[in-house]
Amino acid sequence: MNQPPAAEEHIVPAAQGKDKVPAYSWYALGVLVLIYVLNFIDRQILSILANDIKADLGVEDDYLGFLYGTAFAVFYALFGIPLGKLADSWKRVRLMALGLTLWSAMTALSGFAKNAMTLTVARIGVGVGEATASPSAYSLISDWFPARLRATALSIYSSGLYIGGGISLLIGGLIVENWNATYPDGGPLGLAGWQAAFIAVGLPGLLLALWVLTLKEPIRGAIDGLPTAEDPEPFRGFFRELFQVIPPFTIFGAAARGKRALAINLAGLAGFALLAWIMSQLVPASSLVLPGLLSDQWLFLGVGYYAVFSWVMGLKARDLPTYQLTWGSPAFLCVVLGYGTVAFMSYAASYWGAPYAERALGADKSDLGWFLGAPAAVAGFLGVILGGRIADYLLERRENGRVWVVLFGLITPIPAIVVAYTTDQVAVFYIASFIANMLSASALGAAAASSQALVLPRMRGLATATFFLSTTLVGGQQRSRTCARRRGASLTVRPG
Whether residue 248 is preceded by a cis peptide bond, meaning omega within 30 degrees of 0, is yes
pLDDT at 356 over 70: yes
Q: Are 439 and 416 in contact (CB under 8 A)?
A: yes
* Residues 136-141, mean pLDDT to the nearest whole number: 93
What residues are paired with 10 via a beta bridge? 217
What is d(CA 444, CA 159) in angstroms, rounded to the nearest whole number? 9
Q: What is the pLDDT of residues 232-276, one digit of tens each?
A: 888 988 988 888 898 989 999 899 999 999 999 999 999 999 999
Q: Give me the CATH topology for the region 20-217+235-492.
A: Growth Hormone; Chain: A; (1.20.1250)
Measure the CA–CA gap between 106 and 155, rounded to whole angstroms: 27
Nearest to 355 by CA among 483, 471, 265: 483
pLDDT of 490 higher than 60: no
Average pLDDT over residues 126-139: 93
**Treating both helix axes as pointing N-terminal to C-terminal, what angle do 426-453 and 401-411 enclose, rounded to 10 degrees?**
150
For the cut 60, the answer to whether the pLDDT of residue 14 exceeds it is no
Neighbours of 23 (CB within 10 A): 8
Is the pLDDT score of 439 beyond 90?
yes
Q: What's the CA gap between 373 and 368, in Å, rounded?
A: 6
Sorting pLDDT into bands at 50, 70 and 90, what band is 491?
Answer: very low
Which pLDDT score, from 0 to 100, does residue 484 have?
44
Q: Which amino acid is at 409?
A: G
Bridge partners (DSSP) of residue 217 are 10
pLDDT at 481 over 60: no
| pLDDT for 231 | 81
Rounded to an integer, what distance in angstroms lies between the CA atom of residue 52 and that of residue 113? Answer: 13
Average pLDDT over residues 181-201: 90
State residue 476's pLDDT score.
53
Rounded-to-integer distance, Cα 373 and Cα 369, Å: 5
pLDDT band at 404 (very low <50, low <70, confident <90, very high): very high
- For range 288-297, the mean pLDDT: 75
More confident residue, 298 or 405: 405
pLDDT at position 485: 46
Q: What's the pLDDT tens digit per position in 204-232?
A: 999 999 999 999 999 888 888 878 777 88
Give pLDDT, residue 474: 67
Cβ neighbors of 289 (< 8 A, separation 6 or more) are: 296, 299
Beta bridge partners of 290: 294
pLDDT of residue 333: 92
**Whole-number pLDDT of residue 9:** 43
- Phi first, then psi, for residue 329 (nearest 5°) are -105, 115
Give the separation between CA 335 and CA 253, rounded to whole angstroms. Answer: 29
Q: What is the overall mean pLDDT for the chain?
A: 85
What integer pLDDT is reported at residue 263 of this predicted model?
A: 97
pLDDT over threshold 80, residue 3: no
Question: At 76, which amino acid appears?
Answer: Y
**Whole-number Å distance between alpha carbons of 292 and 284:** 10
CA 411 to CA 389: how far, in whole Å? 19
* Secondary structure string (H, E, C) spanning the chain: CCCCCCCCCEECCCHHHCCCCCHHHHHHHHHHHHHHHHHHHHHHHHHHHHHHHHHHHCCCHHHHHHHHHHHHHHHHHHHHHHHHHHHCCCCHHHHHHHHHHHHHHHHHHHCCCCCHHHHHHHHHHHHHHHCCHHHHHHHHHHHHCCHHHHHHHHHHHHHHHHHHHHHHHHHHHHHHHHHHHHCCCCCHHHCCHHHHHHHHHHCHHHHHHHHHCCCCEECCCHHHCCCCCCCCCHHHHHHHHHHHHCCCHHHHHHHHCCHHHHHHHHHHHHHHHHHHHHHHHHCCCCCCCECCCECHHHHHHHHHHHHHHHHHHHHHHHCHHHHHHCCCCHHHHHHHHHHHHHHHHHHHHHHHHHHHHHHHCCCCHHHHHHHHHHHHHHHHHHHHHHHHHHHHHHHCCCCCHHHHHHHHHHHCHHHHHHHHCCCCCHHHHHHHHHHHHHHHHHHHHHHHHHHHHCCCHHHHHHHHHHHHHHHHHHHHHHHCHHHHHHCHHHHHCCCC
